[in-house]
């Protein structure tokens, strides 16, 4: 777990929906459960230095970085994009520190210090080479992918999986013609959600043709849609690609009840998704798995999902049974910071609306994907060892 209190400096103000405080409470929840004790399998690494200018220029343009540095000194209420991503004093360094955290995850894996590493503050997948977008000032994932492919101890191929409700457009278009990156993105349909991209026909170009895999889900879909679809599509693609590293963006805004998106995953669904990626990492690339956070606009969801999935990956799950209460000290801190009642248990019942997903929905999406990628996916019911 990479964490630095300086990550909290990435702050758009009290009325903005994105806050790193939610991610900080994932770390404090693990701490309250004893996850970082020597016998528990978790390790916290910090402090974190901001990413160097040279590392940032591996993805972002010099002109944008120059402008960002200037605005960082004198924001004057300016926005960095159409208005969703306001500038704030010190925004350059705060953003670069989050990038530094995701790079630190990569370096720990490359050095053989750990198999798995998580930067809960990362996952800022919308930023483009020449600009901010969607609450993302710098793209920590894209900078890290570039370093993983072109830096020391490079990998020949890297797989990027994104389960945020919003399509990871900055990453996909940043590597759209790169045949070394398999990008699989499961998200809410872009016709109903920002950024309006991520359709099956957007499948890559040049060397990257057929390696950008978009799985848009209708608003209201949940575990019943994403888990069978993942099992049918993701394992065969990863096994064919044989990555040296898997990078997972774990946006929690696909969780039921999120105010900015309309999917209905549950904590159990997230744990199963991350667990499947974890197993594939051990099968295909000696366990090398770099995980980040991402979207998510309810602190109670973000903190529990990131804490539970991180401890699952370490083989020391802090959530072991239904109805297990959350630590009282953590609940008190949560209520003090956020000003409303904390969740009482790891998985409180979440009211779910009727899902629009049907078996024919899966068949239609898989058919469109097969046409775009020029591949054939296994039929439902095929044993997992034959996928």
In this predicted structure, the answer to whether residue 387 has a pLDDT above a threshold of 70 is no
pLDDT value, residue 76: 84
Name the band, by pLDDT with cuts 50, 70 and 90, for residue 383. Answer: low
| 166 a catalytic residue | no
Pick the CATH number of 5-320+359-386 from 3.30.565.10, 3.30.450.90, 3.40.50.720, 3.40.800.20: 3.40.800.20
DSSP annotation of 86: B
pLDDT value, residue 385: 56
210-219 pLDDT, tens digit per residue, is: 999 999 999 9
Point out the catalytic residue in the list 107, 126, 166, 278.
126
Higher pLDDT, 199 or 81: 199
Higher pLDDT, 103 or 41: 103
In this predicted structure, the answer to whether residue 384 has a pLDDT above a threshold of 60 is no
pLDDT value, residue 382: 65
What is the reported pTM?
Answer: 0.96
What are the residue ranges of helices labelled H in the chain? 21-32, 53-56, 62-73, 91-110, 140-150, 169-174, 223-241, 267-284, 299-313, 328-338, 359-373
What is the arithmetic mean of pLDDT over 166-182?
98
DSSP annotation of 4: -
HSE of 101, CA atoms in CB hemisphere, 13 A: 31
Domain segments of the chain as ranges: 5-320+359-386
pLDDT value, residue 196: 98
Name the band, by pLDDT with cuts 50, 70 and 90, for residue 272. Answer: very high
Rounded CA-CA distance 81/56 in Å is 19
In this predicted structure, the answer to whether residue 300 has a pLDDT above a threshold of 80 is yes
Most confident of the ranges 35-39, 207-211, 380-384? 207-211
What is the arithmetic mean of pLDDT over 295-323?
94
pLDDT value, residue 79: 86
In this predicted structure, the answer to whether residue 381 has a pLDDT above a threshold of 80 is no
What is the arithmetic mean of pLDDT over 191-212?
98
Rounded CA-CA distance 13/94 in Å is 14
DSSP 295-329: ----HHHHHHHHHHHHHHHTT--S--STTPBPPHH
pLDDT value, residue 386: 56
pLDDT value, residue 247: 98
Average model confidence (pLDDT) across the chain: 95
pLDDT value, residue 277: 98
């Amino acid at each position: 777990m990479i964490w630095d209190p300086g990550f909290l400096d990435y702050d758009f103000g009290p009325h903005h929906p994105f806050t790193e405080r939610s991610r900080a409470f994932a770390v404090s929840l693990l701490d309250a459960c004893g996850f970082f004790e020597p016998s528990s399998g978790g390790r916290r690494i910090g402090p974190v230095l901001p990413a160097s200018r040279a590392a940032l220029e591996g993805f972002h343009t010099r002109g944008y970085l120059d402008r960002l540095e200037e605005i960082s000194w004198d924001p004057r209420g300016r926005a960095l994009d159409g208005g969703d991503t306001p500038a704030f004093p010190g925004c350059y360094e705060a953003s670069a520190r989050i990038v530094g955290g995701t790079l630190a995850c990569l370096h720990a894996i490359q050095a053989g210090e750990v198999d798995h590493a998580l930067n809960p503050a990362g996952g800022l997948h919308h930023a483009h080479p020449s600009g901010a977008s969607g609450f993302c000032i710098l793209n920590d994932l894209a900078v890290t992918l570039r370093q993983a492919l072109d830096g020391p101890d490079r990998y020949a191929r890297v797989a990027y999986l994104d389960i945020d409700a919003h399509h990871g457009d900055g990453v996909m278009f940043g590597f759209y013609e790169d045949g070394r990156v398999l990008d699989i993105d499961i998200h809410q349909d872009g016709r109903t959600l920002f950024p309006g991209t991520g359709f099956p026909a957007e499948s890559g170009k040049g060397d990257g043709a057929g390696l950008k895999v978009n799985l848009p889900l209708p608003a209201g879909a949940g575990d019943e849609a994403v888990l069978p679809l993942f099992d049918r599509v993701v394992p065969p693609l990863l096994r064919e690609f044989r990555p040296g590293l898997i990078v997972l963006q774990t946006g929690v805004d696909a969780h039921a009840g999120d105010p900015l998106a309309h999917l209905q995953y549950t904590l159990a669904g997230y744990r199963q998704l991350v667990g499947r990626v974890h197993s594939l990492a051990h099968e295909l690339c000696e366990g090398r798995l770099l995980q980040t956070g991402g979207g998510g606009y309810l602190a109670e969801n973000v903190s529990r999902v990131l804490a539970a999935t991180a401890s699952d990956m370490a083989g020391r799950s802090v959530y072991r049974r239904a109805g297990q209460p959350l630590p009282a000290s953590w609940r008190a801190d949560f209520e003090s910071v956020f000003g409303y009642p904390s969740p009482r248990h790891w998985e409180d019942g979440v009211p779910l609306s009727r899902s629009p997903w049907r078996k024919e929905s899966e068949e239609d999406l898989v058919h469109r994907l097969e046409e775009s990628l020029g591949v054939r996916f296994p039929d439902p019911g095929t044993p997992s060892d034959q996928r």
